[in-house]
A and B are shown apart, each in its own frame.
Chain A
Amino acid sequence: MSFAAGDSTVDDTSARRTPRSITTWVAGSLAGLATLWVVFLARGTSAGSAIREPGEFLVTLLDGITFAGLLFVVASGFTLVFGLMRTVNMAHGSLFLLSAYVAIEVQQSMVGLDRNIEAGDIGILDWVVPVLVGSLVVAVVGVIMQQLLLRWNQGQDLRQALITLAVSVILADQMLAHFGGLAQRVVWPGAVTRFFEIFGARYALSRLFMLALALVVGAALWLWLNHTRMGMVIRAGVDDQEMVRALGINIHVVFATTFFVGAFLAGVGGVMGASFAGVAPGTDGQWLLNSLIVVIVGGLGSIRGAVAGSLLYGMVVAFAPAYLPSQYTYYAIILTFVLLAVVLAIRPYGLFGKEA
Chain B
Amino acid sequence: MASARNVAVAVAAAVLVLLPVFGSEFFVSFVMTRTVMLGLAASTIVFLSAYGGMVSLAQFLLFGIAGFMVGNAVGEAGSKGLKLGWNPWVAVVFALVVTTVLALLLGALSARTAGIYFLMLTLTYAVIGYYFFGQVTTFSGFGGITGIDPPDVFADHPTRLYYLCVVLSVVAYVGLRALGRTPFGVALQGVRDEPVRMASLGFNVPVIRMLAFTVAGFVAGVAGILNIWWNGQIDPTSISIGPTLDLLIIAVIGGIAHLEGAWLGAFVYVIANNYMRNLPFADSLGLTEARFNTVVGLLVLLIMVLSPDGLAGLSIRAHGLVTGATRDARPGGVLDAALHEIATVDDGPNGRLGVPEPTTKGSTR
Chain A contacts to B: CB under 8 angstroms = 86, 88, 149, 153, 156-159, 161-163, 165-170, 172-174, 177, 282, 285-286, 288-289, 292-293, 295-296, 300, 330-334, 336-337, 340-341, 344-345, 348-349, 355-356
Asked if B294 is at the interface (CB within 8 A of a chain A CB), the reply is yes
Q: List 19 A-B contacts (CB under 8 A).
A: A153-B334, A156-B334, A158-B336, A159-B304, A162-B252, A166-B298, A167-B297, A167-B301, A169-B296, A170-B294, A173-B292, A177-B290, A282-B241, A285-B127, A289-B124, A293-B124, A330-B135, A348-B112, A356-B116
Chain A contact surface mostly? helix
Partner of B293, one of A169, A286, A336: A169
Q: Is the CB of B110 within 8 A of A344?
A: yes
- Chain A residue with Cβ nearest B108: A345
Q: Is the CB of B116 within 8 A of A161?
A: yes
Alpha-carbon distance between A177 and B291 when the two chains are bound, in angstroms: 8
Q: Is the CB of B308 within 8 A of A159?
A: yes
Question: Interface 1/0s, chain B 293-334, versus A by CB < 8 A?
Answer: 110111011001100100000000000000000000000001
Partner of A300, one of B117, B248, B291: B117
Q: A170-B298, A172-B242, A337-B128 are in contact. List 8 more A-B contacts (CB 8 A).
A: A149-B305, A158-B335, A165-B248, A285-B127, A289-B127, A293-B124, A333-B131, A356-B117
Minimum C-beta distance from B56 to chain A (A): 12
Q: Is the CB of B117 within 8 A of A349?
A: yes
Given known A166-B297, A169-B293, contact A296–B305 (CB-CB < 8 A): no
Asked if B178 is at the interface (CB within 8 A of a chain A CB), the reply is no
Q: Is the CB of B116 within 8 A of A173?
A: no
- Chain A residue with Cβ nearest B365: A356
Given known A177-B290, A296-B121, A333-B135, contact A356–B115 (CB-CB < 8 A): yes
- Chain B residue with Cβ nearest A355: B364
Which B residues, 230 to 270, have Cβ-Cβ distances below 8 Å to chain A? Answer: 240-242, 245, 248-249, 252
Q: Is the CB of A159 within 8 A of B245?
A: no
| Top-4 shortest CB links A-B | A170-B297, A169-B297, A173-B293, A348-B112
Q: Is the CB of A158 within 8 A of B116?
A: yes
Alpha-carbon distance between A166 and B123 when the two chains are bound, in angstroms: 15
Q: Is the CB of B294 within 8 A of A174?
A: yes
Question: Interface 1/0s, chain B 275-292, versus A by CB < 8 A?
Answer: 000000000000000111
Q: Is the CB of B336 within 8 A of A173?
A: no
Most buried by B among A86, A162, A341: A162
Contact partners of B296 in chain A: CB under 8 A: 169
Minimum C-beta distance from B299 to chain A (A): 8
Give the tally of cross-chain contacts (CB within 8 A): 126
Interface size class of B (residues with CB under 8 A): 35 or more
- Chain A residue with Cβ nearest B132: A333
Asked if B101 is at the interface (CB within 8 A of a chain A CB), the reply is no
Partner of B115, one of A157, A169, A289, A332: A157
Contact partners of B293 in chain A: CB under 8 A: 169-170, 172-173
Contact partners of A332 in chain B: CB under 8 A: 135
Q: Is the CB of A349 within 8 A of B113?
A: yes
Alpha-carbon distance between A158 and B117 when the two chains are bound, in angstroms: 10
Partner of A292, one of B115, B124, B364: B124
Given known A296-B121, A341-B109, contact A163–B301 (CB-CB < 8 A): yes
Alpha-carbon distance between A340 and B137 when the two chains are bound, in angstroms: 23
Q: Is the CB of A158 within 8 A of B119?
A: yes
Contact partners of B364 in chain A: CB under 8 A: 355
Q: Is the CB of A348 within 8 A of B131?
A: no
Given known A166-B297, A170-B297, contact A159–B109 (CB-CB < 8 A): no
Asked if B90 is at the interface (CB within 8 A of a chain A CB), the reply is no
Contact partners of A330 in chain B: CB under 8 A: 135-137
Asked if B215 is at the interface (CB within 8 A of a chain A CB), the reply is no
Minimum C-beta distance from A327 to chain B (A): 11
Minimum C-beta distance from B301 to chain A (A): 4
Alpha-carbon distance between A286 and B123 when the two chains are bound, in angstroms: 11
Q: Is the CB of B127 within 8 A of A296?
A: no
Q: Is the CB of A158 within 8 A of B115?
A: yes
Which B residues, 189 to 247, have Cβ-Cβ distances below 8 Å to chain A? Answer: 240-242, 245
Given known A158-B115, A330-B135, A341-B109, contact A166–B300 (CB-CB < 8 A): yes
